[in-house]
Structure 1
Amino acid sequence: MELHKVPNGQHHPGVAVAVHDGVPSQEETFLQHKDGGSKRPQFTDFEGHTSFGMSIFNLSNAIMGSGILGLSYAMSNTGIILFLTLLTCIACLSCYSIHLLLRSAGVVGIRAYEQLGLRAFGQPGKIVAAIIITLHNIGAMSSYLFIVKSELPLVIQAFLGHTSSSDDWFMNGNYLIIIVTLCIILPLTLMKHLGYLGYTSGFSLSCMVFFLSAVIYKKFNIACPLEVFGNHSVNHTVILEDSCSAKFFTINQETAYAIPILAFAFVCHPEVLPIYTELSNPTKRRMQTVGNVSILGMFIMYFFTAVFGYLTFYENTEAELLHTYSQVDPLDTLILCVRLAVLVAVTLTVPVVLFPIRRALQHLLFPGKPFHWLRHIAIALCLLFAVNLLVILVPNIRDIFGITGATTAPCLIFILPGLFYIRIIPPEQEPMNTRPKIQAACFTALGFLFMTMSLTFIGLDWVTGEKRSLGGH
């Protein structure tokens, strides 16, 4: 790496310095000299010990969410070629967004999303960033627990051999999410560092790999046209032959929802900086590699899940892929196991999503305060109580998730990283008319365009009375 100097002979903050005796440069370690170069302030008050592999598991688990169940539906409304194009674009933009966050964090020596907002726009920026992260991740946690609420009773019913739902307490989804929260989610959220969740993240990802394997297997075991089952008998088997042919490019009234589904499926940005904080031997290049590998892995899983699910049901693909399989054979043992695997995966993802919310609230409500176990536990309990209450009391919050998702997702992926980069990178280092700043500005504008488009489609749904599933991360 070259040695850049300023006229006075001192190194400018945020500008790379040379590597001496194998020690990474200042830009690579993100440790900055104060005036006079007398002290190197650290990002955090502890040294990260999470390995490279565990960090990939954590970030991949943060990316992976309930949105994977809607990808085949998105492909059925775009065609294979258009879907692959959109998926590639969203994945590349997510990698670029992580690059902007890491560059901004490196200049100011900060690895907290909210603190970047403080540095870029003062206290209002910090508050806005914390609120956006909190709203988005509460929505994500709620969607995961909604899956537990709706799917776990069906799994228990199948294991007990019941042919219909019962009034037993252990078949009540509201009771089940409370039990799952207290017995599984709460103990994991009480861990001090996010790195320890790498083991559960790895297990969660293995469950989703099993889900993908089942989707591929079923492609070769379900014939089209489909035999769609009702409660006890076949309802119909006559399906137009054209509905069993793959389309490479298609546009219809549902196509516009493909971009929100894909964007929500790649949202992981609130977790990037906390995972970076606990990465061992942290450098910008090392963390960027973690992000790139995680997104590449999810890109492959997403595409194969979408294409094999779509090539199984074609135009008959429903918004939730598992529900489509249940329509074909509600007693299928393999799909029952897949349901159980998905339940395990989303349950183990909730603690990973909770960590950035707690970090945001700590920076917002207790700035500068050292770690305290009572505060750590109290915030987790309050968040889990609020999410459980939301899932229990609100029968269908799909429209609320649509609004928050259409606003928070573009903010976290496009708008805030672009604005942070423009405001934080010194003008003397990169003037506004340089290519990186122009690219960041265009990236931010794309986020506003995406937000406007998503809100417009949701508004049209409300006006026309149509209810469509937006999917979700």
Structure 2
Amino acid sequence: MSYSQVQFSDMQSTFISNYMEMEEPVQEKEQQGNWCQRTFGPLKKGGIRMSIISLLAPCLGVGMLGLPYRAKEQGLIIELVLIALCGIISCISMHILSWSAGDLQCSSFSELIQMSLGNKMKRLFEILTICQCLLGITQIQISFQLFIYELFKYFEITIDQRELAIITQLLFIIPNLLISFQKTLYRLRYFSLIGVISVIYITILTSLDYFIRGQYKDNITLKLIDIDFNIFTTFAMTFFCYLCHLFIFPIRKELHNPTIQRQSKIWKRQCLICYIIYSLICICGYLRFGDDTQTWVINNYHGDFFFIGKLGMSFALFFAVPLNILACRQIIHDMLLSDEMEYQLKHRSLRIQAQDGKITFEVDSVDSFRSKIHIYSTLILQFGSAILALILPNINRYITLLGGLLGTTMVCLIPVLIYLREYRDKLNYYIVILEIMGVVFGWIGALYGQF
């Protein structure tokens, strides 16, 4: 072991990558079986199926329940085109991030931006992402409160909505917090599965309801195409349904044999599943109710089966909070660990150890510092979002901000900048055009949606 002082920028990425690898042991290669075993067998760490479920869980939420209402505003054909367009842009961004992360050997989103776009862009990304995640978790908390209120209405229990929101937070925040302390997607796998199953159940139920019963009344007015300036806001709110890109790096870390081909299967299948579910809910929900479609189409339905669906969606929202906290906490870890490393290098000695051809870096007090980050960031995100959920009433306004301004910046602008920087010699201009289109549409929609 030897001691030396080195420049922080040359070793920060390597230290964080090596340090993060210590958290979980590598999963052994899963046994190959037949199609039935691979599809319905236990969820194993590092498998493609578990990765797809982990990526689906943050997408399949209340955003999709608003798609029939978007069709009511812009027309069914326009909304279906936007669902497909947002899915394509989302899938392209996932591939850009996984390609560049593999080529640059980066283990986190922040590290990738730092190596490709520089420290200033990295810091801007971290600030925007933390804001986006905090608003996103707040939106989930508000939606959870509203679904609990709908469950009370089913039993004809009269209660003030604001009082119920406060009671809900007091009752559920502690069990939610205990789940939020989990460190890996693998440990949250069954919570993710509950959310995905609930959404699939609602999709099947709404589809069967339309195909069996048809339109709920005669002479329903349907709108197929209606193009106006609101299309940008509709794009932003539709794009919100595909925001899951912070989970790419946790999935890459836990994925066994994370080749480009295996990662590509995950991104493509996730986007395809989302597109099918979103299209079915949009078509069947809008054709069933037409101009009477509510903001969340599930509120148009009544009966015991749909009560089960609302109950399942409540569970999905409850478990979505820990999932989103995990992704946001990773960004906070990267940001604060980088600052701590820089401080240690300037004021203390850094131990450099070479073993089996691999260099590792050890800094005094980083273990305790990292534990503090985990605890404090979880507490701040959990309680901060709960407080904001009681203060901020208008949920749709924040969805346009999330999907339009912050979402497209993170999912479209940053990936296309990385793509232009790292692959300038072999650019596909269709990719560049689609990503820039996503940025322009999203920003206009986010700003227009505030008025």
In the superposition, the TM-score normalised over structure 1's length comes to 0.75
In the alignment, which residue of structure 2 is the partner of 1:434? 426
1:449 to partner: Cα distance: 1.3
Shift of 1:320: 1.5
Q: Give the counterpart of 2:252 among 273, 276, 287.
A: 276
What is the CA–CA distance in structure 1 between the aligned matches of 2:166 and 2:150, rounded to whole Å?
A: 13
Q: Contact 1:419–1:440 (CA<8 Å) still a contact in 2?
A: no
2:53 corresponds, among 57, 60, 71, to 57
The secondary structure found in structure 1 opposite 2:74 is coil
Q: Partner of 1:318: helix, strand, or coil?
A: coil
**Matched residues in 2 for 1:410 and 1:334: separation?**
36
CA distance 1:274–1:389, shift in 2 (3 Å): same
- 1:189 aligned partner: 180
- Per the alignment, residue 364 of structure 1 pairs with 335
- 1:14 corresponding residue in structure 2: none
Structure number having the greater helix percentage = 2
8 Å Cα contact 1:114-1:129 kept in structure 2: yes
Instruction: Let me know the Cα RMSD of the aligned residues.
Output: 2.7
1:91 aligns with 2:87: yes
Which residue is equivalent to 1:301? 277
Contact 1:135–1:404 (CA under 8 A) maintained in structure 2: no
Partner of 2:117: 121
SS at match of 1:77: helix
| 1:394 positional shift | 2.7
Aligned to 2:385: 387
- Cα shift at 1:165: 2.3
More displaced stretch, 366-375 vs 121-130? 366-375
Deviations 1:398-422 (A, max 9, x none): 4344334421111122101111222
Aligned partners of 1:418 and 1:443 also within 8 Å: no
Moved more, 378-387 or 256-265: 256-265
- Given the alignment of the two structures, is residue 108 of structure 1 paired with residue 79 of structure 2, yes or no? no
SS at 1:172's partner residue? helix
Cα offset for 1:193? 1.5
- Looking at structure 2, the residues matched to 305 and 109 of structure 1 have their Cα atoms a distance apart, in angstroms, of 39
Question: 2: CA distance between counterparts of 1:248 and 1:357?
Answer: 39
Residue 337 of structure 1 pairs with residue 308 of structure 2: yes
Contact 1:190 1:380 in 2 (8 A): yes
**Stretch deviating more after TM superposition (99-108 or 144-153):** 144-153
d(CA) in 2 for partners of 1:280, 1:181: 34
Q: Using a 3 Å threshold, how does the CA distance of structure 1 residues 48 and 354 change in structure 2: closer, same or farther?
A: farther
2:51–2:266 contact (8 Å) kept in structure 1 = yes
Q: Give distance in 2, aligned partners of 1:116 and 1:439.
A: 23
Contact 1:415/1:443 (CA < 8 Å) preserved in 2? no
Name the structure 2 match of 1:133.
Answer: 129
The aligned length equals: 389
* Matched letter for residue 134 of structure 2: I
SS in structure 2 of the partner of residue 339 of structure 1? helix
C-alpha contact (below 8 Å) 2:74/2:231 kept by paired residues: yes
Partners in 2 of 1:370 and 1:296 — Cα distance? 41
* Displacement after TM superposition at 1:278 (Å): 1.3
Aligned to 1:412: 410
> Take 1:153 and 1:444, find their aligned partners in 2: how far apart are those partners?
39
Shift of 1:97: 0.7
Paired AA for residue 148 in structure 2: L
Specify the alignment match of 2:159 in structure 1: 165
Alignment partner of 2:57: what SS? Answer: helix
- C-alpha change, 1:335 and 1:444, in structure 2 (3 Å) is closer
Q: What is the SS of the residue equivalent to 1:62?
A: coil
Asked whether 1:260 is paired with 2:236, we answer yes
Partner Cα separation in structure 2 for residue 375 and residue 44 of structure 1? 14
Amino acid at match of 1:207: S
How far is 1:266 from its partner?
A: 0.8
Residue matched to 1:201: 192
Q: Is the 8 A contact 1:422 1:440 kept in 2?
A: no
What amino acid is aligned across from residue 382 of structure 1 in structure 2? I
8 A Cα contact 1:276 1:282, kept in partner: yes
**Cα distance change, pair 130–256 in 1 and its aligned pair in 2 (3 A):** closer
CA shift digits 1:83-113 (9 cap, x unpaired): 3322222212211111100111012111311
Amino acid at match of 1:365: L
> How does 1:73-84 map onto structure 2 within 5 Å?
73-84=69-80
Q: Where does residue 441 of structure 2 map in the other structure?
A: 450
TM-score under structure 2 normalisation? 0.79
What letter is aligned with 2:238? Answer: L
* Identical aligned residues as a percent: 20
Q: Is 1:212 aligned to 2:183, yes or no?
A: no
AA paired with 1:264? F
Tell me the SS of whatever aligns to 2:54. Answer: helix
C-alpha distance in 2 between matches for 1:248 and 1:70:
17
The one-character-per-residue Cα deviations of 1:126-161 (angstroms, maximum 9, x if unpaired) are 1112122212222221111101212213314534x5
